[in-house]
Amino acid sequence: MKILGRHLIAEYTKCNGDKLDNLEHIKHSLLEAVRRSGATIVNSVFHRYAPQGVSGVVVIAESHMSIHTWPEYNYAAVDFFTCGQTVDPYLANEYLKKSLGSTKATVTEIPRGIPSISQEILDHKPTGSDQSDKTASAIS
C-alpha cells in the first residue's frame, strides 16, 4: 500500500455519561484533542440529540476527527483520520479518553492509501509535477 494516512478507530467504554451528553464538554474536548495532536483546524460542527447524545466532527487540514456518543451506554465512538507525518493522532486519543473519563478503551489503527505491491509512505501534499507523477505511478 502507498500509505497516505492513518485512521485510528477508538471505542471508549465506561465513560462518564454526563460528559458524553454535554455538548460544550464534547466540543471543548475534541477541539483540544485536535490541538494536542498538532493538527490544523479548518472547521467544526457539533450537534446534541434529543433525548441524549452528541456528535461532532472537526475538519483538519490533515483530514478529520469525529465523535459520536451514547451516554445511556457510557460509550463513545471516535475516529482520528490523519495524513502526513506531522500529526500524532495518539496524542489526541490519550487526551480525549481522559477527558471523557473512559476507564476502558480499544484503538485500532488502519493504514489508508492506494493499494500497491510496495509498502511506502507518500507525502501528504506533494506539489507541482511531483503530484501528477506520484498519482500516475501509484495507480499503475
Q: Which of 7, 25, 68, 124 is catalytic?
A: 68
Q: Which of 29, 37, 64, 83 is catalytic?
A: 83
Any catalytic annotation for residue 15?
no
What predicted TM-score, i.e. pTM, was given to this entire model? 0.84
Mean pLDDT in the chain? 89
Any catalytic annotation for residue 124?
no
Ordered domains of the chain (ranges, CATH): 2-139 (3.60.90.10)
Residue from 80, 83, 112, 87 nearest 1 by CA: 112
The whole-angstrom separation of Cα 66 and Cα 47 is 12
Provide the pLDDT confidence category of residue 121 given band limits of 50, 70 and 90: confident
Range scoring the smallest mean pLDDT among 51-55, 67-71, 81-85: 81-85
Q: Which of 29, 37, 63, 102 is catalytic?
A: 63
Any catalytic annotation for residue 68?
yes
> How would you classify the pairing of strands 2-13 and 104-114?
antiparallel
Helix (H, G, I), strand (E, B) or coil at 111: strand
Residue from 75, 88, 97, 104 nearest 30 by CA: 97
